[in-house]
Amino acid sequence: MTREEILKTGYADVKMQVAGMRQAHRLKVTLEKTKDGFIAYLTSEQRLPTPELVRIAEELQFPIRCRGMLVLPKGKSPADFVEKNVTMAAATEETVVEAEIED
């Protein structure tokens, strides 16, 4: 999924290991206004493991804010994600958590 697709849909569906189980989580896009423009973050209502958040931020090249913690891709700062004009779908999706057991 590219940055443009994530901004267009308003969310990203990701799979991660949480407490030994492979789970699917929907991370929603939230916008934060700064003096230079807007910064889009992926956010989650659930408490997720930091190593998985780091992996997802690296894979998607998108900042993630989760429970007061900000995770950025390696070598990036919030200023690298400032956008002047952001068009995002108003997604009113419910929080989706799926769990599956791997053999």
Percent of the chain, pLDDT > 70? 83
Q: Please determine, for residue 45, whether its predicted confidence score (pLDDT) is greater than 90.
A: no
Distance, C-alpha 103 to centroid of its chain: 28
For residue 88, the model assigns a pLDDT of: 56
Q: For 47-57, how does the pLDDT look when each residue is reduced to its tens digit (9 = 90+)?
A: 899 999 999 99
**14 and 27 in contact (C-beta within 8 Å)?**
yes
Query: Position 27: which residue type?
Result: L
**Looking at the whole model, is its pTM more than 0.85?**
no
Query: C-alpha dihedral over 74, 76, 82, 87, to 10 degrees?
Result: -20
- Measure the CA–CA gap between 64 and 30, rounded to whole angstroms: 10
Q: What value, to the nearest 5°, has the Cα angle with vertex 45 and ends 16 and 78?
A: 80
Domain ranges (residues) in the chain: 3-100
Q: Please determine, for residue 92, whether its predicted confidence score (pLDDT) is greater than 80.
A: no
**66 and 47 in contact (C-beta within 8 Å)?**
yes
